[in-house]
Structure 1
Amino acid sequence: MRKTLLLLLISVFAVIVRAQTVDSTEAEIDEIEKTFHYTTGTISLEKGNGTIVVPKGFKFLNGEQSRYVLTDLWGNPKDENIIGMLVPEEKGVLRASSWAFTIMYDPMGYVEDKDASEIDYDEMLAESKKDIEAENASRKEAGYQTADLIGWASKPYYDDQAKVLHWAKEISFEQDSVHTLNYNLRILGRHGIYLINAVAAIDQLPEVQQSIEPVISSISFKEGDRYSDYASGDQIASWTIGSLVAGKVLAKAGFFAVLLKFWKIIAVACVGGFSYVWRKITGRKKEEEEEMQAEENTESSDPTNQEENSNTDSKD
């Protein structure tokens, strides 16, 4: 009977601790979210001589804030090419359902699209898997998660009229139980391309797909830098439509991970060391506890304190 009662009390205590932990973390996440300055309307992009008219249902983070989110909060390799993010209006960047479009610009030159109709995308998928495996060694050495390409989440498609390339890959990151969706868009211009990548969980594919057309329509090159403004003598990119999809470098391919898909694990107090943000939030508390413990150990080992304690005991 006593044993059963003890187990019951332990279970109740565990539930209370878990609830308090989740509430505390939620509060800290709210505080972090409040530090971001989201904007809407028409915005001139940092690079590429283009603009974005933030589509309905989204809010925009500038380059500096976006780089902070991707690197410091989501635990991805640093990439100075990031010039912004589109975040769903009702979501932040620190929620279980968080996802976003990252925006980059590459001044690679004018990408010729003559090969668009001749590409064997199945063969390309096999080559891409090998490239990612080869890249994993350097990612691991740099302290980042390794990645495996599962397959196409949406097979590549080139819109010859809009000069926009679409494709989506399903990726599995080391230690991540939820597969990541990287939905890639490439908007071609006269002197380079805009790279827009949706970073989400694979089960958010339908939600992302609904946003593709509004996002494509929201970003455009200004007059003089459009694809149709090409003039003889302009720089021709060494990349083609096929090589854009292949993406030899993980950063250029938009392989970013959303590590907060472990939120459900956190919520039941089974962190297991997986969430970068969890470590970031709770790290301060752990450091404080370690400092207090160190102080206690110092005091207990101090001969002066031991003598005082001895004298006190004698008086008693």
Structure 2
Amino acid sequence: MSTLRTLTLAGLLMGLVVPFLNAQETKPAAAEPTAEEQAAREKEFLNEIEALGWTREGKAKVGSMAEVAIPKGWRFTDGNGTRSLLKMYGNLPGDSELGMLTTEGHGPWVIFEFEDSGYVKDDEKNELDADAMLKSLKEGQEIGNERRREMGLEELQLLGWAVPPRFNDKTKNLEWALRIGSKNGQSINYSTRLLGRHGVMEVDLVCGPEEMDTLVPQYQSIIAGFQYVTGNSYAEYREGDKVAKYGLTALVAGGAAVAAGKMGLFAKLGGLFAKMGKAVIVVIAGIGIALKSLIGKLFGKKEQI
């Protein structure tokens, strides 16, 4: 699986203590910046973001295999811009990001990544057992928290589904939303997997519970404006194409797991005001395809094609 931000698991965690902030606590307290200094830093940071290059209308290319309509008030940057932005917010991006939609300023992130796993069969569409998947994910969370403690990061908890896994047979989209918590707050991670001929486009929205009602309709509009270009859609599968060794159940488990195999933590800090304890959006790297294959086995998915 790609180094997905779950932005596949993620959270809007208020006051989350990350290593960067911990390091700051060991230093003498700095003088509180003035309002003018804060405004100057904010302007400089936003100018750096703007310099990444953005498209604000029409359709944007998502790699070479898809495109997405840009909603009013949103903007799109390509894979290079996405990785640069993640770094600017203190993240360690991978190499699978194809683009990002966000609003102006420090808006929410909708990141597109592609996993070239091959054609994922939908024969499990009527067998998605949300209770069994959640139980497995919670068990894996304990292992994930061991890794987080080693990294000096706060533990996270899977509180349950905000939206249980569901498959749209018409659009061939799989979606779910998880409620994530810590001692400092909760977050919602809304995930969509757009099945294609050669793999899966992974799209994720991170927001707080109080933002879900407002942002999810916008997110759904973005998903509706996505389409694979000719030759890449799910319906264009041809005999002999590569077929994934896992199904829909493992796709959810692999994308949503807060479990062993996590590669790191991605934090969206409030501009240059991280030192001042502003809100943090946390985006956790997804697990690898090897773990996904293992999850497929645990859920009884046959390895043979």
Letter in 2 for 1:54: I
Superposition pairs for residues 167-206 of structure 1, below 5 Å? 167-172=176-181, 177-206=184-213
Alpha-carbon distance between aligned partners in 2 of 1:39 and 1:184, rounded to the nearest angstrom: 24
The question of 1:104 aligning with 2:113 is answered yes
Aligned equivalent of 1:225: 232
Partner of 1:236, secondary structure, is coil
2:242 pairs, out of 229, 235, 239, with 235
- Give the conservation status (yes or no) of the 8 Å contact 1:63–1:82: yes
Letter in 1 for 2:101: L
Letter in 2 for 1:164: N
- Give the conservation status (yes or no) of the 8 Å contact 1:43–1:53: yes
How many residues of Structure 1 are paired with residues of Structure 2 in the alignment?
A: 244
1:58 pairs, out of 74, 96, 99, with 74
Alpha-carbon distance between aligned partners in 2 of 1:275 and 1:160, rounded to the nearest angstrom: 36
Change (3 A) 1:253 1:233: farther
Letter in 2 for 1:31: E
Q: How many angstroms does 1:152 deviate by?
A: 1.2
Give the structure with the larger strand fraction: 2
Change (3 A) 1:230 1:238: same
Change (3 A) 1:70 1:264: closer
Superposition pairs for residues 43-54 of structure 1, below 5 Å? 43-46=60-63, 49-54=65-70
Aligned equivalent of 1:132: 141
Q: Give % identity.
A: 28
Q: How many angstroms does 1:265 deviate by?
A: 9.8
Alpha-carbon distance between aligned partners in 1 of 2:190 and 2:273, rounded to the nearest angstrom: 22
Q: How many angstroms does 1:206 deviate by?
A: 0.9
Aligned equivalent of 2:101: 86
Change (3 A) 1:259 1:32: closer
- Give the conservation status (yes or no) of the 8 Å contact 1:180–1:257: no
Aligned equivalent of 1:38: 54
Further displaced range: 239-248 or 188-197: 239-248
Q: How many angstroms does 1:262 deviate by?
A: 12
Alpha-carbon distance between aligned partners in 1 of 2:249 and 2:271, rounded to the nearest angstrom: 31
The alignment's TM-score, normalised by the length of structure 1, stands at 0.67
Alpha-carbon distance between aligned partners in 2 of 1:27 and 1:275, rounded to the nearest angstrom: 21
- Give the conservation status (yes or no) of the 8 Å contact 2:62–2:112: no
- Give the conservation status (yes or no) of the 8 Å contact 1:139–1:146: yes
Alpha-carbon distance between aligned partners in 2 of 1:198 and 1:236, rounded to the nearest angstrom: 27
- Give the conservation status (yes or no) of the 8 Å contact 1:247–1:253: no
Q: How many angstroms does 1:255 deviate by?
A: 8.1
Larger radius of gyration: 1
Aligned equivalent of 2:19: none
The alignment's TM-score, normalised by the length of structure 2, stands at 0.69
Q: How many angstroms does 1:72 deviate by?
A: 3.9
Deviation sequence 1:248-279 (CA, Å, 0-9, x none) = 6659999855443997993xxxx4x9969xxx
Letter in 1 for 2:252: V
Alpha-carbon distance between aligned partners in 2 of 1:254 and 1:203, rounded to the nearest angstrom: 26
Change (3 A) 1:252 1:194: farther
Letter in 1 for 2:96: N
The question of 1:212 aligning with 2:238 is answered no
Q: CA RMSD in A?
A: 3.2
Give the structure with the larger helix fraction: 1
